[in-house]
Amino acid sequence: MDATPARAAEKRSVPAAGSLTAPSGEHALTVDRLSKRFGERVAFQDVSFDVGYGEVFGFLGPNGAGKTTTVRTLGTLISPSSGTATVAGIPLSAANGPQIRSRISIMPETPGLYQRLTVAENLRCFAGLYELDDDAERIERALRAVNLQDRAGDPCGSLSKGLRQRVALARALLNDPAILFLDEPTAGLDPVATHDVHELIVALRERGVTIFLTTHRLDEAERLCHRVAILSRTLRLIGTPDQLRAQLFNQALEVRVLAPLSNPGSTFTGLPAVDGWEASGAGGYRLTVSDPQTAAPAVARALVSAGADILSLSESRHSLEDVYLELINEDVEAQQR
Amino acid sequence: MSFSWARVRAIMVKELTDYRRNRFVMVFTMTILPLIFIVAPTIQLLTAPAVIASSKLDARIGISLLYMLLIPALVPSTVAAYSVVGEREQGTLEPILITPVRREEFLVGKALAVLVPTLVVAYAIFGIFLAVVALFAHPGIRSAIFAGSHIPVQVLFTPLLAGWSIWVGIAISARSSDVRVAQQLSVFANIPPIAIVALMSFNVIKPSTAIALALAAALLALDALGWRAVAAMFDRERLITGTRT
């Protein structure tokens, strides 16, 4: 783990978990074959997944993939066309809408703050809508969590985009939600503001907050999420970033030597856990392996035995972006066919 | 979860704070517009000769009081017409609808936030009008205004007309996708009740206690049913996605 979460935890005081966590083994969110259509247009269909309490779940997909519609459906803002879901332990239905909405929070892509009202007035309104008894304390705690306690009296219209996003996050934390839905929380933010929002999410994750994060920023998902799902109207893949890589790509080792091997076939063939090899530029080789940890020492020994000068030997890692692009390209090709 | 007045209050307080900071609402809608309505009726009555035929006096009083009733009919209509579509345009509707607030609570909060300042302004302007009449009008005119049923009628019809105007404005707002269109439509929607009141003011419909009470009862029923009717038209999904369910 990098140093950022620890630093964030030191700097910020995140609301006490309260209802944020639940006994392990329970699901904060269970979605079963959920679909939403607007007339003939399919927003998403047959989507099924579970999210555990305390998990940060990334929901990835290109624009128009149905991410925001999924969040709105789970937040009871729009009704599903078919399928079922349980949100924070409550079956998804119109009748259960107020009860579900009292136990979750959604931070929409745009902050949606009342510009003429101050930060505190904005939060006070929402504390009233959640009927919080200790509203002053909750507001103070939420503002502390996003490091905005000194801006409570500022009109929201005078804040920068990044600060408005932080106010929106404070608003989403007011009711200590069982699930916090963050819909593209860093869309349109500059790198510094994005970094701030990431720190806040990391701090929340450290406290065991269940977060459902929709994004098309793959670095964000890779850094913040325990598991990710890739949506392109249907759910294409779901798992940890490592599991997704393993599902889509063979594991491989990248080897670079000073001079090309005279007989690479005899050097690599038969080594433990090495399934195949191919040349990759001058002095470069890419080895398909079943287990990098077994293969790497054997490859190193074989190269030394062959008299090669090793420049580098590393596991080839595909980024989440590679996974994503592979899937999306498959979709594009399928549509073209 | 039952109907919560705490959530209604949260919406109302937010709205009133927002109006207070909105210079256009405070200066034009709540101050200049109502003051405009006091000019013509005051001139009507102050320029009337001391001796005037009773039919002409009735006409002058009718026009004057009609102007007074335009305040509760027109002042809230533009504000009410902004209430839902305005939130939608500025992106604040979705965060509100994500909370446990019920549509009935949201709508009642919005309506009360328009009703309260409207009543304050309408009664204040009517009070100013009565003070001017008491101080400067001829005794005959003064007694015609104060002795008749005009004052109770104004007091009764002010909240009833305001209620109608507010619910129609909110209903239009909930179904519109453009603030300007909503505001124009809501002004037009106030023509029917104003027309009836005008016909009574000009004695086309002979005003009587029975007719006034019947009209008041009809407006009261419409106001009472208004929030249920508007709540039925308030479609969360359409407001969020722009698509009908």
- Model confidence at A13: pLDDT above 70: no
Determine the pLDDT at residue A273.
92
ipTM of model: 0.86
| Superfamily for the A4-240 domain | P-loop containing nucleotide triphosphate hydrolases (3.40.50.300)
- Model confidence at B98: pLDDT above 90: yes
A129–B243 CB contact, under 8 Å: no
* % chain A with pLDDT above 90: 58
Best A68, A99, A125 member to test B by mutation, with max B CBs in 10 Å, is: A125
| SS3 category, A33 | strand
In this complex, the residue of B6, B94, B100 whose CB is nearest that of residue A98 is: B100
A64 shares contact with chain B (CB less than 8 Å): no
Q: If pLDDT is split at 50, 70 and 90, which confidence band does B106 have? A: very high
- Model confidence at A79: pLDDT above 90: yes
| SS3 category, A247 | helix
pLDDT 10s digits, A89-98: 999 999 999 9
Q: Which of A216-220, A304-308, B237-241 has the lowest mean pLDDT?
A: A216-220
Q: Where are the beta strands (DSSP E) in chain A?
A: 27-38, 41-52, 56-60, 82-87, 90-91, 104-107, 179-183, 211-215, 227-232, 234-239, 252-257, 274-279, 284-289, 310-316
Tell me the three-class secondary structure of B163-216, residue by residue.
Answer: HHHHHHHHHHHHHCCCHHHHHHHHHHHCHHHHHHHHHHHCCCCCCCHHHHHHHH
Q: Provide the domain count of chain B.
A: 1
Determine the pLDDT at residue B122.
93
Determine the pLDDT at residue A285.
94
Kindly report the nearest CA distance between residue A103 and chain B, in angstroms: 9
Alpha-carbon span B83 to B107, nearest angstrom:
9
- Model confidence at B8: pLDDT above 50: yes
- Model confidence at A46: pLDDT above 70: yes
Average pLDDT, integer, range B36-43: 85
Instruction: Kindly list the residues from chain B whose CB atom is less than 8 angstroms away from the CB atom of residue A171.
Output: 95
- Model confidence at B150: pLDDT above 90: no
Q: Which residue is listed with tokens 């080594």?
A: A271
Best B5, B20, B99 member to test A by mutation, with max A CBs in 10 Å, is: B99
Domain ranges of chain A: 4-240, 250-316
Higher per-residue confidence, A293 vs A25? A293
Kindly report the nearest CA distance between residue B161 and chain A, in angstroms: 29
Q: How many CB atoms lie within 10 A of CB A254?
A: 15
* Alpha carbon distance, N-terminus to C-terminus of chain B: 24
Alpha-carbon span A253 to B23, nearest angstrom:
67
pLDDT 10s digits, A143-187: 998 889 999 999 999 999 889 999 999 999 999 999 999 999 888
A106 shares contact with chain B (CB less than 8 Å): yes
Q: If pLDDT is split at 50, 70 and 90, which confidence band does A8 have? A: very low
Whether the CB-CB separation of A293 and A262 falls below 8 Å is answered with: no
CATH number for the domain formed by residue range(s) A250-316: 3.30.70
Determine the pLDDT at residue A4.
36
* Crossing angle between the packed helical segments B54-82 and B103-136, to the nearest 10 degrees: 150
Average pLDDT, integer, range B102-119: 94
Put the strands of the sheet holding A27-38 in their side by side order.
A41-52, A27-38, A82-87, A90-91
* Crossing angle between the packed helical segments B33-46 and B103-136, to the nearest 10 degrees: 30
pLDDT 10s digits, A299-315: 999 999 999 999 999 98
| SS3 category, A27 | strand
Average pLDDT of chain B to the nearest whole number: 87
A117–B240 CB contact, under 8 Å: no
Q: Which domain holds residue B73?
A: 5-241
Instruction: Kindly list the residues from chain B whose CB atom is less than 8 angstroms away from the CB atom of residue A77.
Output: 94, 97-98, 236-237, 240
Determine the pLDDT at residue B1.
67
Kindly report the nearest CA distance between residue A282 and chain B, in angstroms: 55
Number of DSSP helices (H) and strands (E) in chain B, helices first: 13, 0
Determine the pLDDT at residue A36.
95
Secondary structure of chain B: what % helix, strand, coil (to 5)?
80, 0, 20
- Model confidence at A5: pLDDT above 50: no
Whether the CB-CB separation of A55 and A238 falls below 8 Å is answered with: no
In this complex, the residue of A117, A124, A131 whose CB is nearest that of residue B4 is: A131
Beta bridge partners of A87: A29, A90
Kindly report the nearest CA distance between residue A111 and chain B, in angstroms: 8
Q: Which range has the top average pLDDT, A239-248, B9-18, B56-65, B134-143? A: B9-18
Average pLDDT, integer, range A188-192: 83
Q: If pLDDT is split at 50, 70 and 90, which confidence band does B137 have? A: confident
- Model confidence at B35: pLDDT above 90: no
* % chain B with pLDDT above 70: 96
A115 shares contact with chain B (CB less than 8 Å): yes
Determine the pLDDT at residue A15.
43
Whether the CB-CB separation of A143 and A152 falls below 8 Å is answered with: yes
Determine the pLDDT at residue B244.
52
Alpha-carbon span B45 to B138, nearest angstrom:
8
A77–B9 CB contact, under 8 Å: no
Give the residue on B whose Cα is nearest the Cα of A37: B245
- In sequence order, which residues have a C-beta less than 8 Å from that of residue A65 and are 6 or more positions away? A44, A231, A232, A233
Q: If pLDDT is split at 50, 70 and 90, which confidence band does B203 have? A: low
Determine the pLDDT at residue B207.
66
Give the residue on A whose Cα is nearest the Cα of B14: A125
Q: Which range has the top average pLDDT, A111-125, B71-85, B228-242? A: A111-125
Alpha-carbon span B151 to A337, nearest angstrom:
78
A101 shares contact with chain B (CB less than 8 Å): yes
Kindly report the nearest CA distance between residue B75 and chain A, in angstroms: 22
Gyration radius of chain B over CA positions: 20
